[in-house]
Amino acid sequence: MSRAGAIAAIDTALGTVSGPAFTAIYIGEPLSVPTTPMAAFWLTGHREDFTTLGDASTIVDFSIRCYWRMQSSPNVRETIDDQIWDAIVGVKTALRANSNLSGHATDSRPGDATTGYIEIGGGVFRQVTIPFEVNIYGEEPIG
92-130 residue pLDDT tens: 999 999 999 999 999 999 999 999 999 998 899 999 999
Confidence (pLDDT) at 12:
97
**CATH number of residue 57's parent domain:** 3.30.70.1700
Rounded Cα–Cα distance for residues 118 and 88 (Å): 17
User: Which of 21-35, 70-84, 99-113 shows the lowest mean pLDDT across its residues?
Assistant: 70-84
- Cβ 66 vs Cβ 80: under 8 Å: no
User: Which of 17-21, 39-43, 69-73 shows the lowest mean pLDDT across its residues?
Assistant: 69-73
Q: Report the relative pairing of strands 24-27 and 55-69 from DSSP bridges.
A: unpaired
Sign of CA dihedral 88, 89, 94, 99: positive
Confidence (pLDDT) at 1:
73
Domain that holds residue 67: 3-141
Confidence (pLDDT) at 74:
66
The total number of structural domains that make up the chain? 1
**Total-model pTM:** 0.91
Q: Shortest CA distance to 139 belongs to which of 98, 104, 101?
A: 104
Q: At what angle do helices 3-15 and 74-96 cross, to 10 degrees?
A: 140
Confidence (pLDDT) at 72:
67
Name the band, by pLDDT with cuts 50, 70 and 90, for residue 75: low
DSSP assigned state of 19: T
